[in-house]
Structure formats: structure tokens, C-alpha cells
Amino acid sequence: MGRLRLAELTLEVRDEGDGPAALLLHGFPTSHRLWDGVIPALRGGGLRCIAPDLAGYGSSDSAAAEPGMQRQAGWLAELLGELGIDAALIVAHDVGSAAAQILVADQPRRVRGLIVSDGVYADQWAMDQVESIRRWDPRNAARLAPVLARRLRSPGLPEESIRAWLEPYSGDEGGLRLIRAARALDPGETASRLAALAASRVPALVLWGESDRYLPIETVARPLAQLLRADLRLLPGGHFLPAEAPDAFAREVLAFTKTL
């Protein structure tokens, strides 16, 4: 892990391995720790794994304004530039895939390939799942992480993964970071870029958990795959595939890289 200073803020960045760069993007309410089970296999398969905490998430700095995904995409492009990377494979989960899609739509030359796992499509961001967090009383911010820990529990999802993801969000300040991040989510940021995303022609793959309880296969995964002209692969597991099926997930990523 290391701290990397950008023009506006500093990101916490995990950077491991050698070879072509894979930028791994977590979603809400996780951190770079989402990729703990995947990085060793990708690194062993010859990829340089770059897994930042998005701005305002995990241990990265908060932005002066709320950390929406359009601004995240700009910071990620800057991050790649600071690391001397012209173009990367992007592997993105949940709303981290919004930042990835915006980057593809706005700066396609930065992206060698795109893998979306249980992500967003158009204005389908599962906003009903974060509405209670958006409306959470900031005076009770310290209570938020324990409530989320209970909500996230599901068969096949290791408890230690949930603890690792939510550790940076404990206490008052951590809870406030989650509230700010939830309030910054704006489905219009991807809904307005569908034509540009389709026109980018960036090679893509869509991976989805067969039992995703937040983002349905038929209304989110399948139309997203059609828009990207991508294969849709369903894997055993729920919404948090990188933690629930890390070996199968890594195999799909490495197989995709061979097609680029």
C-alpha cells in the first residue's frame, strides 16, 4: 500500500505485480480490500494490480465536494498518468463500474479492456438500497457501519471480508464518509453516456453473481452486456463475487486478458 498525491487529493493505492496494468475498482460500501482474494491470482498470472480506495472511500482523502463517480473517473485517469500507464484493463464492481464506464465513454484511449462485475447500467444503480444511508442522521454516524455489517451478511460471503471492508468506516468520521459517498451517487452520470459507451468499442466482459440480490441479471446485467457487445458470464455467488468466488473470478479475468 502507498499514498499517491494527485492535484486535488491523495489516494490510498495498492500496487502489486509486474506486467500489463489492471485497475481494480471497488464499489459501495467497500474499499480496495474487496480484491484481497483476487489479487494474488492476477499477480501470479502476470498482471500489475492497481487497487485504489476511491476518493472519499476507505483510507483515501475526501474530496472538497461530494465524491461522485464522474469526478472519480477524472481522478482515476490522473492516477494512471501519475503511474506512467497509458491504458489499463479496468475491472470494476458495483458503483465503481460507473466510474469505469464514464472513463470508457469520456477517455476510451485510457482503457484496454473493461470487466464489469455486478455493476450498474444506465440509471439502474439500486438506489433503493442506499436511500436509508443517504437519509441517515449525521449525528448518529457512528452507528452506520454496524448496521451495514448486519445488512451485508449473506451465505457465502466471509465475515472477515465484511469486517475488512467496513473497518475504515467505523466511528463518527467513518460513518460521515459513507453518508457523503451515498449522497454523491447520481445515476444520471451513466444514463447520459450510453451512446458514447456503446461507440467506444472497448473490449468488454460482464461477470455476474447468479444470486445477486441488489442488481438483477435481466434488467441490469443483460442489457449492459448488450450495450458493451460483451459476453455475460454468470458465476455461483451473490453480489460480492470477488470475495465470494475469488478463484473463479480471477480465472475469468486472466482468460479475458488473453483476448486483448
Tell me the pLDDT tens digit for each residue of 184-193: 999 999 999 9
- Per residue in 86-108, pLDDT (tens digit) is 999 999 999 999 999 999 999 99
Q: Residue 128 — pLDDT band, cuts 50, 70, 90? A: very high
pLDDT score of 21 more than 70: yes
C-beta separation of 235 from 249 below 8 A: yes
Q: Rounded to whole angstroms, how far apart are CA atoms 183 and 74?
A: 19
How confident is the model at residue 232, as a pLDDT? Answer: 98
Q: Give the chain's length.
A: 260
The whole-chain average pLDDT of the chain stands at 96
2-127+187-257: CATH number: 3.40.50.1820
C-beta neighbour count of 113 within 10 angstroms: 22
* Residues 186/96, Cβ–Cβ less than 8 Å: no
Say what angle helices 171-184 and 144-152 make with each other, to 10 degrees: 60
**What b/e readout covers 49-73, taking b as 16+ CB neighbours within 10 angstroms?**
bbbbbbbbbbbbbbbeebbbbbbbb
% of residues, the chain, pLDDT over 70:
99
pLDDT at 72 over 80: yes
Residue 50 C-alpha from the chain's centroid: 12
Contact, 256 vs 47, CB < 8 A?
Answer: no
Cβ-Cβ contacts under 8 Å for 106 (sequence gap 6 or more): 73, 193, 196
Q: Per the structure block, which three cell numbers stand in for 113?
A: 479492456
pLDDT tens-digit profile of 228-242? 999 999 999 999 999
**Which stretch of DSSP H or E encloses residue 173?**
helix 171-184
